[in-house]
């Protein structure tokens, strides 16, 4: 068996490895290189050192969108996981029609981000226009609009993961807890939550990285609007998240592509650090089954 595996190993491994190198590793490394360059097309770039990084840190819109993204990530991670867990808990406690509800809750996840953004824009503006305003006129509406949209889209997916986690908890542990005289609340806190910790890890990881990388929904729901005109007559867009900020920087003028690229590298580092430290902290809470 082992010999057979090693003989056929290249046929399975090489195409994947090749795709990985061409589709991920090479663009990633050339992306890092380009962040030190001035360029219009990626094939002819001139090396200019750390100029791009200097420009990033003197750009007020980058810091603003960074803070906006953090606020968004915090609120959406908490809300999505809390609600998804509650729904999963309810649907595994044997209520009627649980299968139907599961399907219904999961369905929003099947719709693409851009379409969702436009649909919700119609819904929000349909309501807000009665009050003479719009989602693209008020950053508070924009923020909560994004939160509602992301909750609606992601709760179903996280719910499925939590349901799988809840169902894998062996019944005898519950039984033992009940015999020991534990109440419902105590069982939830001392048995269920520690036992589904792996699901919590994966769900917080997914929601956290999704929130940071959010682009389509942001673009189609608010496109960063509204904005305030700041120093030098430059507009800072008040609902522009990191990914959209990078995109807009890239196409701002013929000198800013490198700056956009530098922002993307910084963005990568931020997401990696945050995601890895989250994994580290939630993993420590997991128990051995």
Partner 1 sequence: MKKTTSLIIVMLLSIGIFSSCRRQQQTAAGSVYYLNFKPEQDAAWQELAREYTEETGVQVTVLTASEGNYEATLTSEIGKNDPPTLFQVNGPVGLQNWKNYCYDLSSSAVYSELTDKNFALTENNMVYGIAYVIETYGIIYNKTLLNKYFASTFSTIKSVDEINGFDSFATVVREIQANKESLGVSGAFTSAGMDSSSDWRFKTHLANMPIYYEYKDENITSTSAIKGTYLDNYKQIWDLYIENATVPKTAIATKTATDAQTEFKTGRAVFYQNGTWEYSNCKFDPASGEGLLDAEFGMLPIYIGAPGEENQGLCTGSENYWCVNKNASPEDIEATLQFINWVVTSDTGTESLAEDMNFVSPFKNAESADNPLVDIANEYIEDGKISVSWNFSTIPSDAWKNGVGTALTQYAAGSGSWESVRKAFVEGWASEYAAANR
Residues in the site for partner 1, rule: CB under 8 A? 7-8, 10-11, 14-15, 18, 22, 40-44, 121, 125, 129, 132-138, 223, 225-229, 232-235, 237, 248, 251-256
- Which residue lies nearer to partner 1 by CB, 132 or 181? 132
Shortest distance, CB of residue 272 to partner 1, whole angstroms? 26
* Backbone conformation region of residue 8, classed left if phi is above 0, alpha if psi is from -120 to 50, else beta: alpha
Shortest distance, CB of residue 247 to partner 1, whole angstroms? 9
- Which residue lies nearer to partner 1 by CB, 44 or 180? 44
How far, in Å, CA of 95 to CA of 265, rounded?
48
- Which residue lies nearer to partner 1 by CB, 58 or 288? 58
Task: Check: CB of residue 72 under 8 Å from CB of residue 245.
Answer: no
Which one, of 212, 203, 211, 213, lies nearest residue 279 by Cα? 203
β-partners of residue 39 are 45
Q: Provide the token pair at 115.
A: 């379409």
Shortest distance, CB of residue 212 to partner 1, whole angstroms? 23
Shortest distance, CB of residue 135 to partner 1, whole angstroms? 8
Q: Provide the token pair at 160.
A: 């499925």
Q: What does the buried/exposed string (b/e) look like for 114-134 if buried means 16 or more CB atoms within 10 Å of the residue's CB?
A: eebbeebbeebbeebeeeeeb
- Which residue lies nearer to partner 1 by CB, 65 or 138? 138
How far, in Å, CA of 211 to CA of 150, rounded?
8
- Which residue lies nearer to partner 1 by CB, 151 or 236? 236
Shortest distance, CB of residue 225 to partner 1, whole angstroms? 6
**Locate tokens 């894998």: which residue?**
168
Shortest distance, CB of residue 221 to partner 1, whole angstroms? 11
- Which residue lies nearer to partner 1 by CB, 186 or 235? 235
């Amino acid at each position: 068996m082992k010999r057979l595996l090693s003989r056929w190993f290249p046929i399975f491994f090489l195409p994947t490895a090749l795709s990985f190198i061409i589709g991920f590793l090479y663009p990633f490394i050339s992306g890092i290189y380009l962040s030190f360059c001035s360029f219009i097309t990626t094939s002819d770039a001139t090396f200019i050192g750390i100029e791009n990084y200097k420009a990033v840190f003197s750009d007020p819109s980058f810091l603003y969108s960074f803070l906006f993204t953090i606020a968004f990530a915090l609120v959406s991670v908490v809300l999505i996981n809390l609600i998804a867990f509650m729904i999963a808990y309810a649907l595994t406690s044997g209520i009627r029609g649980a299968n139907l509800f599961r399907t219904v809750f999961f369905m929003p996840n099947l719709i693409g981000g851009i379409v969702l953004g436009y649909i919700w824009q119609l819904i929000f503006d349909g309501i807000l226009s009665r009050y003479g305003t719009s989602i693209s006129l008020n950053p508070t509406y924009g923020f909560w609009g994004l939160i509602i949209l992301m909750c609606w889209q992601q709760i179903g997916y996280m719910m499925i993961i939590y349901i799988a986690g809840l169902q894998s908890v062996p019944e005898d542990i519950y039984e033992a807890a009940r015999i020991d005289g534990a109440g419902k609340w105590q069982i939830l806190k001392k048995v269920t939550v520690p036992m589904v910790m792996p699901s919590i890890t994966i769900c917080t990881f997914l929601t956290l990285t999704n929130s940071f990388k959010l682009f389509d929904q942001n673009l189609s729901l608010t496109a960063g609007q509204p904005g305030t005109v700041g120093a030098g007559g430059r507009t800072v867009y008040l609902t522009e998240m990191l990914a959209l900020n990078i995109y807009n920087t890239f196409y701002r003028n013929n000198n800013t592509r490198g700056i956009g690229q530098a922002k993307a590298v910084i963005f990568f580092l931020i997401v990696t650090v945050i995601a890895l430290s989250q994994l580290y902290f939630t993993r420590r809470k997991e128990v051995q089954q």
